[in-house]
Structure 1
Amino acid sequence: MDLMQLLLTEMEQEAVTTKKMLERTPDEQLDYKPHEKNMSMRYLATHIAELPSWVPMILTTEELNFKESEYVPKEIKSNAELMNFYEKSLNEGLVGLTKAKLNQLEETWTLRNGDTILFKGTKYEMIRHTFCQIVHHRAQLGMYLRLLNIPIPGSYGPSADEPHIN
């Protein structure tokens, strides 16, 4: 099997569910936080939307150091802006994977905050970790939406808000 094609297929498949979830993020609830320790829906949805763009960044760099690269999240003001940002990010991720060479996946990549190493492994492992982060944060967004009584789309089958297949 072609590992690059498998990663590309996985990214495309997960994008379908991610898009359905992000589309349900309401403009009037972007500042919603279910608890004081939670991030706002705006920040969470923006982070989910940006994660596909991490793939080409991982493939073309050796590390990300938060101490040297100040993170400034994109400020979205509406669901339309969120969806445009997601489509751009997803396209960057898909193009990055399409252009990647198999041997790049074996290279080491480090995520750090100054001297503190948060992750060190192969670029393949970090790309998979990025995919897992998308799913993880998508589940968090699903909880926010559920608490606001917004119907949840199914991820790997129907949700409680969709008719079950007999």
Structure 2
Amino acid sequence: MIKQALLGEFLHEAESTRKLLKAIPDSALDFKPSDINWTTAQLASHISEVYNWYEGTFNLDVFDMGTYKYDKGDISKAENIVAKFEENVAKAQKVLENWDESTAMNEWKMEMDGNSLFPPMPKIQVVRAFLFNHLYHHRGELVVYLRSTGNKVPGMYGPTADDKF
């Protein structure tokens, strides 16, 4: 039951993420709002990478960031970022579909070099915060990046100012 609810949200939000990533023109990839921010390409790559964390979150009780291999792929073109997203989202969907939801309340933690990066918490809380809400936060940032570069933003929860009524 939990899995079906998460899967419904996952599929809906993956489509919204897809629309947003496809709205990025190559001309905006190097934009960053300040010296401390990522470029559009780096931010979009990070959004795509979140889907690569499903295996370590759903199927492990300890996610070791010390051994995790970040694979952003070639971020020099927006289409490459979308392709990496498609690869990662397909894997994430399979992980979610095959997840044993009886583990939802298992204690989960993230470590690096034996040190806990976050306090341990129930896996379902990690799924909602670390995977889902984290992604939505970064999508919001990407919307600001697109607007700041004069680009249109696709509707994700209804029409945007760019849509004709």
Q: Please give the TM-score of this superposition, normalised by the length of structure 2.
A: 0.90
Please tell me whether residue 156 in structure 1 is matched to residue 157 in structure 2. yes
Task: Measure, in 1, the Cα distance between the counterparts of 2:144 and 2:58.
Answer: 32
Which residue of the partner structure matches residue 62 of structure 1? 61
- Give unpaired runs (5+ residues) of structure 1: none
Task: Measure, in 1, the Cα distance between the counterparts of 2:64 and 2:55.
Answer: 16
State the Cα deviation string for residues 70-127 of structure 1 (Å, max 9, x = none).
6544132212211111111111111001111111212111123443432421221111
Aligned 1:93-132 pairs, distance under 5 A = 93-114=92-113, 115-129=115-129, 130-132=131-133
Aligned 1:7-86 pairs, distance under 5 A = 7-66=6-65, 68-69=66-67, 72-75=70-73, 76-86=75-85
2:150 counterpart letter in structure 1? N
Task: Measure, in 1, the Cα distance between the counterparts of 2:70 and 2:55.
Answer: 18
What is the CA-CA distance between 1:28 and the residue it aligns to?
2.7
Task: Measure, in 2, the Cα distance between the counterparts of 1:72 and 1:91.
Answer: 17
Q: Report how many residues are paired.
A: 162
- Give unpaired runs (5+ residues) of structure 2: none
Identity %: 27
Native 8 Å contact 1:50 1:89 kept in 2: yes
Aligned 1:132-143 pairs, distance under 5 A = 132-143=133-144
Q: Please give the TM-score of this superposition, normalised by the length of structure 1.
A: 0.89
**RMSD of the alignment, in Å?**
1.7
